[in-house]
Amino acid sequence: MSMPRNIFYEDQRLVILRSLVDCGYDANESILNDCLGLYGHDISRDLVKNHLHWLEEQGLVTLTHITTLATPQNHDFLVASITQRGLDVAQGRAMVNGVKRPSPTC
């Protein structure tokens, strides 16, 4: 992975973790995509899902798969819940390679 892309990915993952804290510790992929947009990360929903799966592999979030039958397409989406380890990373008490460390003023 190139250095600029790595920097963006690390920041996007931190934004996801912080957004989960701000949303009461869980949120769906659509809300998280909107939160990323507020911080200047205009990325695809697919990339949000990739980040969520990566964060799950690191033990920072747990994911619940939801299928809605309310639409003809039967959309499948993810709900992420932050773990204690994820909360520690979001608040700068722990570090994980691949997630930007928050500044001390946050």
pLDDT digits (tens, 9 = 90+) for 54-72: 999 999 999 999 887 666 6
CA separation, residue 24 to residues 5, 42, 61, 80, 102 (Å): 29, 23, 13, 11, 19
CA distance linking residue 54 with residue 49, whole number of Å: 9
The string of pLDDT tens digits covering residues 79-93 is 999 999 999 999 999
Higher pLDDT pick, 75 / 100 = 100
CA distance linking residue 57 with residue 41, whole number of Å: 22
Q: How does residue 3 score in pLDDT terms, banded at 50, 70 and 90?
A: low
CA distance linking residue 70 with residue 89, whole number of Å: 36
pTM over 0.85, yes/no: yes
Q: What angle separates helix 29-38 from helix 45-57, to the nearest 10 degrees? A: 110
User: Which percentage of the chain shows pLDDT scores above 70?
Assistant: 90
CA separation, residue 44 to residues 26, 47, 83, 104 (Å): 20, 5, 24, 29
- Hey, where are the domains in the chain? 3-90
Per CATH, the architecture of 3-90 is what?
Orthogonal Bundle (1.10)
* Lookup: tokens for 92: 């700068």
